[in-house]
Amino acid sequence: MADTPDLLPHEQPAPPRTDLWIAAVFFVFGAAAAWLAFLMPTYADQKGQIYTAPGLVPGFYGIVILLLSIWLAVRAVRQGALRPRGEATTAGQPAGTSDLRLALAAGLGLVFVVGLIGRVPFWLAAAMFVAMFTILFEWRAGEPWAPRARRIGEAVLLGLVTGAAVTLVFEKVFYVRLP
Amino acid sequence: MFDSLGQLGGAFLGFMTPHTLFNVIWATFLGIVIGALPGLTATMGVALLTTLTFTMPHNEAIMVLICIYVGAIYGGSRSAILLNIPGTPASAASTLDGYPLARQGLAGRAMGISTSGSWLGTLFGILCLALLTPVLSELALTFQSFEFFWISVFGVVVAGTLAGGDPLKGYIAGFLGLWIATIGQEPYYNYQRYAFGYTDLAGGIGLLPALVGAYGVAEVLQAMRGPVVKAVSSKLDSVVPRIEDVLKYWRTIFRSGAIGVWIGILPGLGEDAAAWSSYAAARRASKEKEKFGKGSIEGLMAAETGEAASVPGAIIPVLTLALPGSAPAAVLMAAMMIHGLNPGPNLMVESPQFFYQIIAMLVIADMSKLLFGFVLIRPLIKVLLVPRERLMPVVFVLCVVGSFAITSRVFDIYVMLVFGLIGFVMRELKFNMAPLILGLVLGDLLEKNLTRGLVLSDGSLLPFFTRPVCAVLSAMTILSVLWSIPAVNRSVRAAFTRRRP
């Protein structure tokens, strides 16, 4: 075993080409933040001091982000970000991960927040979201109808229990308003 | 002295009501469950419960949050031992020896070691908190805007340098957090910065919806994208901690406790850094180095003691400098602010009884954690087996409720979603989230103290560098940045290596 423990997932370095793209995004972001801060009023006409000008601090942060992005870009290039494809992109997707599952989870979350909340009572929105989430993620192609029906029944029950429990506990016990 | 003991006794007695003890029991258990479930972290648990308990009196609410925090950090070891998956990042070091012990049929003993190490670590941390907080508060009372500016900058920079991963990305995340904190009305002219005419944006980005998004929604997305984890089938032997394990490794316990508290005090580093550092130090000093990574009791004890000691350690700078030592401590600090408490040097002056209450809360939470170390092990293992397809939608619903709860703005739910996406993408791109959170928390403090300092000095930067504490803090900040530059780091190391005989 090495002297230093294994790196955590967030400590594994990203490929240089990815870092170059990140640097480009933050360069644009930092420049935009600094430019918008520069356009902010200084209130000098109201005898305001320059040190309290609204754009001073966010403008400073924008410039720092811009400079750090240049540092990141230079480092990425020195590490081979501009070499032909294949050499600079070494990190692959970890085994067992699925972008389809990710997109489905994100999409369902968006439907819940944008499509359901505010249109139906919260308990019903929560029940529909939980049931739909569970049904879709537990869906197995070619599964016989009996176990599938049982799974769907369990998912609907879980949704209803969640909707009811969240509503009762938070509204009646914690006195929290629900969306 | 007797006055302090009297106040501490009063704080304990004040919590000895059936209602409070009931809250302690459920909150600690919930914390352990949150910590044990891979994908749910202490920060997320504290953030969610902050929003859900804000109608409670402040003592009860903070007590619940401390129980969640202490419980979650401890609970992470359950899945580390049984699944080889750290329930929270803080428990990653515990997998190295906890899981091999479970594979050897010693899962119960491993959990006993985890319980005793964690319990003693938190107690050690509480002792340090009780001794150090009054001294640091006294010192901090002499600070002015110049010092507080550097404390904030130092916090963000050190979190970027040491929180793990790429320091350069840590700095970017930290300054991004600081920039986000400037969105909305500024304090001098009420000018709406980066609002683009939207009233909701002019109100600023709520810290808690952002935290719930970055730690809750991002973790739901990550859990759903990641591979399925399966529990190891292990015979469960006695979970009762053994006295001989504690006596044999008392040096490791003290060393890890001290490391844990120190790392806890350093801004933004948190429990995972404390566990790794304690583990590495124990390995270096051990007479049984070869057992590390193969089921070393000493290794597991070190990791658990270190991470548990860093919990009170991370609260020390919250109480004295309004500077959180870890991400969960940042949320705890935000919760204190929401409840009208004023964390920082004035806390000991304005509400000294709250300091004693914090000590009492930590001790009670630690005792409750010990109790759960003995009981409810089997039900907890069953909770670990709940499939993520059924758990994560429920967590998402709680995130939505949690982000809406404080101001009842639907806009906060959108903030949560956006920060969930930002948190997920940034983690995928190997950014550490701790500096971003610290930047968000410290943004207001930094801006106010920078502008106040500039007004006081009439624009001169000299006091920012010449006042004694400022000189030390600015030098440490600059050294911290230099240290993260590989070329500088290599040169310094080479220079020291050459000087050795």
pLDDT in tens, B243-256: 887 888 889 999 99
**Residue B12 in this model has a pLDDT that exceeds 80:** yes
Q: Is residue A127 part of a domain?
A: yes
Residue B234 confidence (pLDDT) = 57
Q: Is residue A34 part of a domain?
A: yes
Q: Is residue B474 part of a domain?
A: no
Condensed to tens digits (0 to 9), the pLDDT of residues A62-108 reads: 999 999 999 999 999 998 888 876 555 555 666 667 888 999 999 99
The DSSP-derived string for B115-177 is: HHHHHHHHHHHHHHHHHHHHHHHHHHTT--HHHHHHHHHHHHHHHHHHSSS-HHHHHHHHHHH
Condensed to tens digits (0 to 9), the pLDDT of residues B364-406 reads: 999 999 998 877 777 777 777 788 888 889 989 988 988 888 7
Q: Which residues have a Cβ under 8 Å from the Cβ of B310 and sit 6 or more positions away?
A: B125, B260, B261, B263, B264, B269, B270, B271, B273, B274, B275, B325, B326
Q: Which residues of B touch A174 (CB under 8 A)?
A: 52-53, 55-56
The answer to whether the CB of B451 falls within 8 A of the CB of A55 is no
**Residue A59 in this model has a pLDDT that exceeds 70:** yes
Are A126 and A165 members of one domain?
Answer: yes
Q: Which residues of B touch A176 (CB under 8 A)?
A: 51-52, 54-55, 401, 405
Count of C-beta atoms within a 10 Å radius of residue B458:
8
The answer to whether the CB of B188 falls within 8 A of the CB of A52 is yes
Q: Pull the structure tokens for residue A151.
A: 């799974």
Sort residue B376 into left (φ over 0), alpha (ψ -120 to 50) or beta. left
Residue B56 confidence (pLDDT) = 87
Are A155 and A116 members of one domain?
Answer: yes
Q: Which residues have a Cβ under 8 Å from the Cβ of B307 and sit 6 or more positions away?
A: B73, B90, B91, B93, B94, B118, B121, B260, B271, B272, B274, B275, B278
Residue B227 confidence (pLDDT) = 73
Q: Pull the structure tokens for residue B474.
A: 């600015």
Q: B395, B435, B483, B372: which is closest to B164 by C-alpha? A: B435
Residue B126 confidence (pLDDT) = 95
Of A1, A134, A174, the CB nearest to B52: A174
3-state secondary structure of B501: coil
Condensed to tens digits (0 to 9), the pLDDT of residues B113-137 reads: 889 999 999 999 999 999 999 999 8
Residue B240 phi, psi (nearest 5):
-70, 125
Give residue A33's pLDDT band: very low, low, confident or very high (50, 70, 90): very high
Q: Is residue A129 part of a domain?
A: yes
**Residue A18 in this model has a pLDDT that exceeds 50:** yes
**Residue B81 in this model has a pLDDT that exceeds 70:** yes
Minimum Cα–Cα distance from A110: chain B residue: B417
Average pLDDT, rounded, for chain B? 87
Are A16 and A70 members of one domain?
Answer: yes
Of B82-86, B385-389, B474-478, which has the strongest mean pLDDT?
Answer: B474-478
**Residue B231 in this model has a pLDDT that exceeds 60:** no
Residue with token string 């809750």:
B216
Chain centroid to CA B39: how far? Answer: 16
Q: Is residue B25 part of a domain?
A: yes
**Residue A1 in this model has a pLDDT that exceeds 50:** no
3-state secondary structure of B297: helix
Chain centroid to CA A128: how far? Answer: 23
Of A10, A61, A176, the CB nearest to B164: A10
pLDDT higher for B176 or A175? Answer: B176
Q: Do B392 and A54 touch (CB under 8 A)?
A: no
Q: What share of chain A is helix, strand, coil (3-state, %, to 5)?
A: 65, 0, 35
Cα distance between residue B16 and residue B23, in whole Å: 11
Are A71 and A106 members of one domain?
Answer: no
Q: How far is CA A116 from CA A110, A111, A119, in A?
A: 9, 7, 5
Q: Do B410 and A170 touch (CB under 8 A)?
A: no
Q: Do A110 and B393 touch (CB under 8 A)?
A: no
Give residue B2's pLDDT band: very low, low, confident or very high (50, 70, 90): low
Of B52, B292, B389, the CB nearest to A170: B52
Q: Is residue B14 part of a domain?
A: yes
Q: How far is B451 from chain A (nearest CA, A)?
A: 6
pLDDT higher for A123 or B341? Answer: A123
| Residue range(s) defining the domain that contains residue B328 | 2-142+204-407
Q: Is residue B470 part of a domain?
A: no
Q: How far is B188 from chain A (nearest CA, A)?
A: 7
Sort residue A73 into left (φ over 0), alpha (ψ -120 to 50) or beta. alpha
Query: What sign results for the dihedral spanned by CA atoms B158, B159, B160, B164?
Result: positive
Are A74 and A106 members of one domain?
Answer: no
Residue B418 confidence (pLDDT) = 94
Q: What percent of chain B has pLDDT over 90?
A: 36
Cα distance between residue B357 and residue B227, in whole Å: 43
The DSSP-derived string for B237-273 is: ---SPPHHHHHHTHHHHHHHHHHHHHHHHSTT-HHHH
Q: How far is A170 from chain B (nearest CA, A)?
A: 7
Range of weakest confidence among A110-114, B18-22, B86-90, B127-131: B86-90
Minimum Cα–Cα distance from B461: chain A residue: A51
Count of domains forming chain B: 1
Residue B61 confidence (pLDDT) = 92
At what angle are helices B250-265 and B270-285 packed, to 10 degrees?
150
Q: How far is CA B180 from CA A5, A36, B202, B256, B439, in A?
A: 34, 14, 12, 36, 8
Residue A120 phi, psi (nearest 5):
-130, 160
Cα distance between residue A15 and residue B205, in whole Å: 32
Give the mean model confidence (pLDDT) for residues B71-86. 84
Cα distance between residue B250 and residue B433, in whole Å: 34
Cα first-last separation, chain B: 50
Burial category of A136 from C-beta neighbours within 10 Å (exposed 0-12, middle 13-18, buried 19 and up): middle
Cα distance between residue B204 and residue B181, in whole Å: 8
Q: Which residues have a Cβ under 8 Å from the Cβ of B197 and sit 6 or more positions away?
A: none
Q: Pull the structure tokens for residue B402.
A: 């949690």
The answer to whether the CB of B274 falls within 8 A of the CB of B310 is yes
Count of domains forming chain A: 2
Are A64 and A127 members of one domain?
Answer: no
Q: B209, B243, B219: which is closest to B408 by C-alpha? A: B209
Cα distance between residue B213 and residue B403, in whole Å: 8
Q: Pull the structure tokens for residue B450.
A: 């920078």
Give the mean model confidence (pLDDT) for residues B3-11. 82
Residue A4 confidence (pLDDT) = 39
Residue B361 confidence (pLDDT) = 94
For residue B434, what is the enclosing H or E element?
helix B433-456
Are A125 and A67 members of one domain?
Answer: no
Residue A40 confidence (pLDDT) = 93
Cα distance between residue B263 and residue B278, in whole Å: 10
| Residue range(s) defining the domain that contains residue A158 | 99-173
Q: Is residue B391 part of a domain?
A: yes
B193: which strand partners? B184
Residue A20 confidence (pLDDT) = 94
Are A74 and A103 members of one domain?
Answer: no
Q: Which residues of A touch B175 (CB under 8 A)?
A: 61, 64-65, 68
Residue B344 confidence (pLDDT) = 86
pLDDT higher for B167 or B51? Answer: B167
Over its C-alpha atoms, chain B yields an Rg (Å, rounded) of 22
Q: Is residue B109 part of a domain?
A: yes
3-state secondary structure of B184: strand
Cα distance between residue B46 and residue B290, in whole Å: 38
Condensed to tens digits (0 to 9), the pLDDT of residues B253-310 reads: 999 999 999 999 988 777 888 888 899 899 888 888 888 888 898 999 999 999 999 9
Give the mean model confidence (pLDDT) for residues B348-371. 91
Q: Which residues of A touch B459 (CB under 8 A)?
A: 49-51
Give the mean model confidence (pLDDT) for residues B156-183. 87
Give the mean model confidence (pLDDT) for residues B94-116. 85
Task: Please tell me if residue B382 touches chain A, with a CB cutoff of 8 Å.
Answer: no
Are A113 and A61 members of one domain?
Answer: no
Condensed to tens digits (0 to 9), the pLDDT of residues B405-455 reads: 878 889 999 999 999 999 999 988 888 888 888 888 888 889 999 999 998
**Residue B317 in this model has a pLDDT that exceeds 70:** yes
Give residue A5's pLDDT band: very low, low, confident or very high (50, 70, 90): very low
**Residue B236 in this model has a pLDDT that exceeds 70:** no
Minimum Cα–Cα distance from B213: chain A residue: A109
Are A140 and A108 members of one domain?
Answer: yes
Residue type (1 letter), B42? A
Residue where a domain stops, chosen among A25, A49, A78: A78
Residue type (1 letter), B450? L
Of A8, A95, A134, the CB nearest to B227: A95
Cα distance between residue A168 and residue A172, in whole Å: 5
The answer to whether the CB of B49 falls within 8 A of the CB of B403 is no
**Residue A6 in this model has a pLDDT that exceeds 60:** no
